[in-house]
Structure 1
Amino acid sequence: MNIRLAVKKDVPDIVSLLANDKLGELREDFQDPLPKKYYDAFERISSDPNQELVVTEDEYKKIIGTLQLSFIPYLTYQGGIRAQIEAVRVHERYRDQGVGQRLFEWAIQRAKEKGAHLVQLTTDKKRPKALHFYKGLGFTDSHEGMKLHLV
């Protein structure tokens, strides 16, 4: 299994992963050809030094997982850096095989390399298996998260 930064040609595979669940199919617009808005978003992400969109491949170079790692500098914690993990997906055929574990090990190590003092994530309350997985990795539900959708 290989974990690497995503490149433009990976965008359709990433969006396919994002759209392949009950929540994702409601918010993504996965079609062929893929709408330009996804490529525009990829360009914004890849040009931002505080963003890392990664994929993991199987032995045949097929993309089987993805996540986005964001580095957030702020004044608290004496000018610390917080790493935020979002958009985690593993292809359904590869779940429960250690792919997610490897992605998180990579992300946590990368956060340490960038000098982050903590790694955080959010998960939808409608994903209890994901919550259980994150707790198994050592994440704690120490804060109450809130969102305000603007669109």
Structure 2
Amino acid sequence: MSGSRSIPVPAPPPSRIEQVTTSACGSPGLRERTADLADAVDDPPMGIQIRRLQRGTEAEFVTGLQWLFDPPGSRPPDWDRDRAVERTAQVLADENAALFAARSPENQLVGVASIYLDIVSVRFGRRASIEDLAVHPEWRSQGVGAGLLATAKEWAQEHGADYIFLESGIGRTEAHRFYVRQGATHAAAAFRWTTGQPR
């Protein structure tokens, strides 16, 4: 997949207060939006750009990942932002993985996603796993997540995946309903063991 794609999402309401702030990764000028989003569904659509990330965008991706720490999520016990940036650089160098970012017309980061070609299952074939799908808290339920999910699914298909796997925390019931609406089947329970030291 190359270039970028535009997806229609509702425009922020005219009454929205906008202020220029410094983002968590230290880049000034990103617009942080504050407003009640209840009226957004009646607004005209606008384009959100979704692009595949390249080297040099590691801190941006990690900033988006940290939205997953908001309830009902939580910060991993051994979370280290610097180590996460290093790991992101490793992923960006891997031809079997892709990271995507969604940006508003004002160039605000509003969502991120990651997908990996990981195993060949004897039973099901080549698997692609969506590891991360995070949307800015004030841009949720506006089509950003659906656009990122569609982009990740398209990348998986283009790279020969037979099926796509996504694991989601048990407390994320709203996300689970979203995935089912997007055509997923709730097919399994996931279990995790932690081994060794963080790398």
The verdict on a shared fold, with TM-score over 0.5 as the criterion, is: yes
Residues 1:25 and 2:75 aligned together: yes
The secondary structure found in structure 1 opposite 2:117 is: strand
- Tell me by how many angstroms 1:148 deviates: 0.7
- Higher Rg of the two aligned structures: 2
CA contact (8 A) 1:52 1:68 kept: yes
Q: How many pairs were matched up?
A: 145
Q: Is 62-71 or 10-19 further displaced after alignment?
A: 10-19
Deviations 1:44-67 (A, max 9, x none): 101111111111111122211011
Distance in 1 (alpha carbons) for counterparts of 2:185 and 2:193: 23
The Cα of 1:84 is off from its aligned counterpart by 0.5
| TM-superposition CA deviations, 1:77-112 (whole Å, max 9, x none) | 58x321110111000111010000111111111111
Query: Which has a greater percent of strand?
Result: 2
Relative to the length of structure 1, the TM-score reads: 0.84
Q: TM-score, normalised by structure 2?
A: 0.66
Map 1:39-78; keep pairs closer than 5 Å: 39-74=85-120, 76-77=122-123
Report sequence identity in percent: 24
CA RMSD, 1 decimal = 2.0
Give the distance between the partners of 2:59 and 2:89, measured in 1 at CA. 14
Equivalent of residue 106 in structure 1, options 133, 148, 151: 151
| Displacement over 4 Å in runs of 4+ | none
Call closer, same or farther: CA 1:75–1:121 in 2, change over 3 Å.
closer
